[in-house]
Amino acid sequence: MAKTKILFILFLVLLVESLGNALEKNLEEEIFSEFEDFDDINEDEEEVFELQKNGRGNKVLVNVDSFGAVGDGTSDDTKAFVDAWNQACSKRRSVFLVPSGRTYLVNATRFNGPCANRLIIQVDGTIMAPSDPEDWDPKSPKAWLVFNNLTGTTFQGHGVIDGSGSKWWAASCKKNKTNPCKAAPRALTIDSSSGIRVKGLTFQNSQQMHFVISRSDSVRVNGIMISSPGDSPNTDGIHISESTNVVLQDCKIGTGDDCISIVNASSNIRMKTIHCGPGHGISIGSLGKDDSVGIVTRVVLDTAFLKGTTNGLRIKTWQGGSGYVRTVRFQNVRMEDVSNPIIIDQFYCDSQKPCHNQTSAVEISEVMYRNVSGTSKSQKAMKFACSDTVPCSHITLDNVNLEGRDGTAEVYCNSATGIIAGYVHPEAECLNSSDKKIEQKIEEYNVHTEL
């Protein structure tokens, strides 16, 4: 009789566990149905890159030294780079070569396409920006090296893109409030391009953002390193704007701002194996500034390690904006001494003047945090600060374990609803589901599976 009772209990446990798993799976499929074709969006891109890598025929080597570049770090090599570019861009299978062992001083320059097919930009030496803001071309206040209107181009090598940013940082209003707030150049920008691959390069000490992907499609970034001091202002690592089908993989980033920032009109962004720190974490936003429209959809971060950052996984929007952030998944993330490990902030205000309360906001929904663990510097390990008029919805926490430094940690919610699936610490009771029946069933199943 006792044996029969034990077998019956085990049967019930397995049945309830199966039902719980099925319920969770159905919820996930319902919320993330837009992801169904997401894993295959880069097939065409991979094909482009394989054609480049396996293409036959002799390469046309275009060495900047052959056009008069000195490479001593003090002579102005801008003209040599432009002349070499014009030749490389015009001939098929060209390799634009920046040789190793030298430092090339290059001023603000636009490298315009379209170019002949299968162009390779091989950077093995160091490209360095002028260090004094007084010497900067006023016609290019926000740009240093801009590559525009390219298709099927590969940037590769073991070289360095050095922004020489220290004097720019010292002149920033974020370092000293008596300084005027002025724009500073972005080190490398890829604009209005498609079928682009970037691999192996090192970016350091940018004046502001290190690497910008703007208005582009099908961009794959692999194995790059980005480095600047933790107190360098506005030095985002990788900034994605108005771009689609972007893959970032095996990147190590330490900066004074967001390691990765994804802003308006960007979708199908995949990040895998990202190391971040120091910096402000991995961010969607900011969005909605000055009552603008902000839209970001279909973002996945899979496998990341963040250490000593001021934020972890962040979505930030200004009051007064409109649009939406939707279908986002952060998974397999480990954090160490991160101040705000998980944060959604619809009241973001990066301004010297106070931001006024407004009722409109960028809508945030369908955001999942799965297999996230680590330690929080602040007491609030999770913060969902959402608008009363445009609440956050369908926030899913699945296997989240965040410990405070002193052993205590809290969750803060304002106008945020969601689902707790699996083990979550600290408890997120304030994240009440909009579907009470579903939430209650999940809680019941979790209780029973602990028997």
For the chain, the structural domain boundaries read 57-256, 286-450
Answer yes or no: is pLDDT of 50 > 90: no
As a whole-number percent, the residues of the chain with pLDDT over 90 amount to: 76
Average pLDDT, integer, range 126-142:
93
Two tokens at 237? Answer: 């690592």
For residue 214, give the nearest of 266, 257, 251 by alpha carbon: 266
What are 284-334's pLDDT values in tens digits? Answer: 999 999 999 999 999 999 999 999 999 999 999 999 999 999 999 999 999
Question: Position 199: which residue type?
Answer: K
> In Å, how far are 111, 130, 196, 214 from 192, measured between CA atoms?
12, 26, 11, 6
Provide the pLDDT for residue 26. 54
How high is the pLDDT of residue 138? 87
CA distances from 368 to 321, 328, 387, 401, 427 (A): 23, 6, 19, 14, 16
Q: What's this model's pTM, rounded to 2 decimal places?
A: 0.86
Q: Which residues are catalytic?
A: 257, 280
pLDDT of residue 445: 29
Q: Which residues contact residue 109 at a Cβ distance below 8 angstroms, ignoring those fewer than 6 apart?
A: 78, 81, 82, 144, 145, 146
Q: Given this chain, do its domains 57-256 and 286-450 carry the same CATH topology? A: yes
Cα 127 from Cα 77, distance rounded (Å):
10
- The hierarchical CATH code for the domain 57-256 is 2.160.20.10
Q: Are 139 and 173 in contact (CB under 8 A)?
A: no
Residue 287 tokens, joined: 């969005």
Number of H helices, E strands in the chain: 5, 30
Q: How confident is the model at residue 5, as a pLDDT? A: 52
For 61-114, what is each residue's pLDDT tens digit? Answer: 999 999 999 999 999 999 999 999 999 999 999 999 999 999 999 999 999 999
* Confidence band, pLDDT 50/70/90 cuts, at residue 446: very low
Residue 186 DSSP code: E
d(CA 263, CA 266) in angstroms, rounded, equals: 6
How high does pLDDT run on average in the chain? Answer: 87
With a cut of 80, say whether residue 47 has pLDDT above it.
Answer: no
Query: What confidence tens digit (pLDDT) does each residue in 232-247 have?
Result: 999 999 999 999 999 9
Domain 286-450 top-level CATH class = mainly beta
